[in-house]
């Protein structure tokens, strides 16, 4: 579940213009929202906020049932962030680590047994079509391969919330459709999903409520339906 109540976020000093201003919306657990808006509207900034890379400057933000503004200990925020899967626009892979080791990271952070990790990594890499690329360092992958690695890493630990920033821009259409089907399936099973995109055909393919940002303000809050 996501709940923002009059949240604003400034990048710098208190008197600077807010990048995100007075955002209020709710996404129930298992809800799916498209995050839309023109370039520079603040979509990536909102996803970073939901991923708790930044904290609200004003207002109250609740993520997966925890009110983040009231969390004081950094360790608690890190634990909460581990329950979120994020696909960054620039993938943010560890360049020298192999595909398999990048994807295994969230499971290693959970101290899962190594044989279980190997099995899960193998299965998910097969699913995203990277079964033959497991040992390749991330810095030798094509854009589409990097994006699929980032997607596998974001979902392998079955997070309660998945955030994705333009997750299909380096994918072929058939791969985009498979990814979309998987996001819809995860949402139906109770995972909250927020996907920022400029891809209109993707949005038409899966009719879901959208959050629409313009100049850092919400002009459509998606309503309250699942």
Ligand X SMILES: Nc1ncnc2c1ncn2[C@@H]1O[C@H](COP(=O)(O)OP(=O)(O)OP(=O)(O)O)[C@@H](O)[C@H]1O
Q: Which residues have C-beta within 8 Å of that of residue 110, sequence separation ≥ 6?
A: 82, 157
Q: Which is nearer to ligand X, 59 or 160 (CB)?
A: 59
Angstrom distance (rounded) from CA 226 to CA 222:
10
Interatomic CA distance for residues 18 and 11, integer angstroms: 7
81-to-23, 25, 77, 127 alpha-carbon distances in Å: 21, 20, 6, 25
Comparison of 27 and 46: residue with beta carbon closer to ligand X? 46
> Tokens standing for 129?
């079509």
Separation of alpha carbons 69 and 59, rounded Å: 8
Nearer to ligand X, 47 or 130 (CB): 47
Q: How far is the CB of 199 from ligand X (least distance, A)?
A: 11
Binding site for ligand X (CB under 6 A): 11, 19, 37, 39-45
* Shortest reach from residue 196's CB to ligand X, in Å: 6
Shortest Å, Cβ 89 to ligand X: 6
| Rounded least distance, CB 6 to ligand X, Å | 19
Q: Dihedral sign, CA of 46, 51, 54, 60?
A: positive
Closer by beta carbon to ligand X, 39 or else 174 = 39
In this complex, which beta carbon is closest to ligand X, that of residue 17 or of residue 109? Answer: 17
Residue 17 DSSP one-character state: P
Q: How far is the CB of 50 from ligand X (least distance, A)?
A: 12
């Amino acid at each position: 579940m996501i709940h923002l109540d009059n949240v604003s976020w400034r990048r710098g000093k208190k008197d600077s213009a807010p990048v995100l201003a007075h955002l209020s919306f709710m996404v129930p657990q298992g809800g799916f929202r498209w995050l839309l808006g023109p370039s520079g509207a603040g979509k990536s900034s909102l996803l970073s906020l939901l991923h708790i890379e930044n904290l609200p400057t004003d207002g109250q933000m609740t993520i997966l049932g925890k009110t983040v503004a009231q969390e004081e200990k950094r360790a608690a925020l890190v634990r909460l962030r581990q329950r979120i899967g994020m696909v960054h626009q620039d993938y943010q892979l560890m360049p020298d680590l192999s595909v398999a080791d990048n994807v295994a990271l969230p499971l290693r952070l959970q101290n899962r047994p190594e044989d279980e990790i190997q099995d899960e990594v193998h299965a998910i890499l097969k699913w995203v079509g990277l079964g033959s690329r497991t040992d390749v360092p991330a810095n030798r992958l094509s854009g589409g391969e990097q994006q699929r690695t980032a997607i596998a890493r974001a979902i392998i630990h079955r997070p309660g919330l998945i955030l994705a920033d333009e997750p299909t821009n380096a994918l072929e259409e058939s791969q985009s459709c498979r990814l979309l089907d998987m996001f819809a399936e995860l949402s139906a099973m109770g995972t909250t999903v927020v996907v920022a995109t400029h891809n209109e055909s993707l949005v038409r393919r899966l009719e879901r409520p959208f959050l629409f940002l313009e100049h850092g303000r919400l002009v459509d809050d998606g309503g309250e339906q699942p």
